[in-house]
């Protein structure tokens, strides 16, 4: 008879099952306890001991962090060498850029009759206006505006251009700049520049149509009045250039009518005019504006032969003629900080900023020179394509020399062409808090 054996793992008393059940139950309790501890640690912040550290009044700034700077790139090293060379050349002429006026050494003025005193009624102690021209098309202009806004009483932005049609103006307002001025310095007045610049050139025919008859002039005045009212501007600055002699009478009529319309509303009319042009009746235009802005640069220009942008003797002699017929209380002197890069391979020289000038000098390893006759800096270099270049430019030193000479007349103020193109050290002598100190 065959005997049946039980399975190997048979447990008739159930002992093994009770042990397994107890083991799994213990594991479940442990896992549940650990999960509960984890959840509690996430939800409840631990109570840490106080360290009694002084409270911080503000968040840390970038300047508070000590970072290890990377070594400058070869281009930057060249830049520093070029800028140092420029300053050495200026020091040879006894001029030290970037210092306060009382510390600057100005070369003696060229022999000429002494500058006349300001006309009766002007106050030598009166605070002169500091004005900056602003452009949308260069990000450096916005950066300069942001850095130096506190120095400016007026900002004159390139925001309005003439055009044909029922509405005779193009509005090109930069909302970033407008918001910055309104938010950071609401006391700074905004007078948009009105120009006849179209398709990369001054359009004389467009200008002639815009002011050629009474109906066209009134349409333009109505559009400008609406623009100023909608944006709460202080007024406008008219900059209509390349004016044909045949259009001078019509332009004068426009300025008369615009001034009358704006004066009734308490608005300012300023006009930028060429520094030395016999076609312009400066005295007549001064009578139709609140301020006349003399653009004291472009002695040599983009399509002329290379030369000084604003030689000191040319500046002083021309200013003497202008101020013989203008009221200084209503006259603003515009100084430049830019240059032209003339080339024998091109008929028109591009305008270059101070920064671009320094870059060109360092990249070409050119020697920057200071011309003692004109007191303007310049240098020459050759490109790899064989073209020969000559750059003349204006910087902080030329601006200071001009402002110092012009201060004898006690003008209403000084304007800078342009924000973003300037020598950074200019701001040690230019600005609403500094200009009274430059009087000779």
Which pLDDT does position 33 carry in this prediction?
A: 80
pLDDT of residue 372: 97
User: Is the pLDDT assigned to residue 114 strictly greater than 50?
Assistant: no
The domains found in the chain, sorted by start residue, are 117-336+400-435 (3.20.20.80)
| Model confidence at 51: pLDDT above 60 | no
> What is the Cα–Cα distance from 372 to 416, expressed in whole angstroms?
23
pTM: 0.74
420, 141 Cβ separation under 8 angstroms:
yes
Q: What is the mean pLDDT of residues 374-398?
A: 98
Share in percent of the chain as helix, strand, coil (round to 5): 40, 15, 45
Top pLDDT among 216 and 91 is at: 216
> What percent of the chain has pLDDT above 90?
69
Of the candidates 440, 402, 407, 433, the residue with the CA atom closest to the CA atom of residue 295: 402
pLDDT mean over 128-133:
98
What number of residues does the chain have? 440
Would you call 291 helix, strand, or coil by DSSP?
A: strand
Report how far residue 373's alpha carbon sits from residue 378's, in angstroms, rounded to the nearest whole number: 12
Using pLDDT thresholds of 50, 70 and 90, give the confidence band for residue 282: very high
Residue 240 or 73, more confident: 240
What is the distance between the alpha carbons of residues 279 and 244, in angstroms, rounded to a whole number? 9
Better-predicted residue by pLDDT, 35 or 384: 384
**Number of alpha carbons in the 13 Å side-chain half-sphere of residue 416:** 39
Residues 6+ apart with CB under 8 A from 368: 82, 85, 86, 89, 361, 377, 378, 379
Q: What does the pLDDT read at residue 140?
A: 98
3-class DSSP assignment, residue 402? helix
**Residues 171, 172, 176: CA angle, nearest 5 degrees:** 135
27 pLDDT band, cuts 50/70/90, is confident
DSSP E strands in 42-150: the ranges are: 129-134
The predicted pLDDT at position 74 comes to 47
Mean of pLDDT over the chain: 84
Q: Tell me what pLDDT residue 30 has.
A: 84
Burial 106-130 (b: 16+ CB within 10 A, else e): beebeeeeebeebeeebeeeeebbb
Mean pLDDT across 138-145: 98
* Position with higher pLDDT, 98 vs 171: 171
pLDDT at 208: 98
Q: Which of 173, 104, 185 is closest to 147 using CA atoms? A: 185
Beta strands in 28-102 (DSSP E): none
User: What would the mean pLDDT of 292-301 be, rounded to a whole number?
Assistant: 99
Q: What is the pLDDT of residues 336-362, one digit of tens each?
A: 999 999 999 999 999 999 999 999 999
Q: Quick one: pLDDT at residue 63? A: 47
Closest alpha carbon to 397 in 375, 379, 378: 375
Average pLDDT over residues 319-332: 98
Q: What is the pLDDT of residue 15?
A: 67
């Amino acid at each position: 008879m065959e005997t049946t054996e039980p399975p190997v793992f048979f447990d008739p008393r159930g002992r093994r099952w009770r042990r397994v059940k107890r083991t799994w139950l213990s594991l479940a309790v442990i896992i549940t306890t650990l999960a509960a501890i984890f959840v509690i640690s996430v939800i409840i912040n631990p109570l840490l001991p106080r360290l009694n550290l002084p409270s911080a009044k503000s968040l840390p700034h970038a300047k508070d962090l000590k970072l290890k700077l990377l070594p400058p790139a070869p281009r930057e090293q060249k830049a520093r060498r070029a800028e140092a060379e420029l300053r050495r050349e200026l020091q040879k002429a006894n001029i030290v850029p970037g210092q306060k006026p009382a510390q600057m050494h100005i070369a003696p003025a060229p022999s000429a009759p002494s500058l006349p005193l300001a006309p009766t009624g002007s106050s030598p102690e009166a605070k002169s206006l500091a004005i900056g021209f602003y452009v949308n098309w260069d990000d450096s202009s916005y950066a300069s505006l942001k850095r130096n806004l506190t120095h400016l009483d007026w900002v004159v932005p390139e925001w309005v251009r003439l055009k044909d049609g029922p509405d005779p103006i193009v509005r090109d307002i930069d909302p970033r700049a407008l918001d910055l001025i309104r938010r950071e310095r609401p006391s700074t007045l905004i007078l948009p520049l009105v120009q006849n610049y179209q398709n990369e050139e001054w359009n004389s025919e467009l200008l002639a149509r815009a002011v050629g008859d009474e109906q066209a002039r009134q349409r333009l005045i109505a559009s400008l009045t609406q623009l100023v009212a909608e944006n709460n501007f202080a007024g406008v600055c008219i900059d209509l250039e390349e004016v044909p002699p045949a259009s001078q009478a019509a332009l004068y009529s426009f300025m008369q009518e615009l001034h009358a319309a704006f004066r009734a509303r308490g608005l300012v009319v300023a006009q930028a005019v060429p520094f030395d042009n016999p076609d312009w009746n400066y005295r007549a235009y001064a009578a139709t504006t609140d301020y006349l802005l003399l653009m004291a640069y472009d002695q040599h220009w983009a399509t002329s032969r290379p030369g000084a942008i604003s030689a000191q003797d040319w500046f002083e002699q021309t200013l003497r003629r202008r101020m013989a017929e203008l009221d200084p209380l209503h006259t603003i002197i515009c100084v430049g900080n830019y240059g032209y890069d003339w080339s024998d391979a091109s008929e028109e020289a591009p305008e270059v900023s101070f920064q671009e000038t320094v870059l060109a000098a360092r990249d070409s390893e050119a020697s920057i020179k200071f011309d003692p006759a004109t007191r303007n800096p310049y240098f020459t270099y050759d490109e790899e394509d064989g073209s020969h270049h000559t750059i003349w430019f204006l910087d902080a030193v030329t601006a200071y020399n001009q402002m110092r000479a012009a201060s004898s007349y006690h003008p209403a103020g000084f304007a800078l062409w342009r924000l973003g193109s300037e020598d950074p050290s200019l701001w040690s002598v230019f600005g609403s808090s500094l200009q009274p100190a430059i009087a000779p």
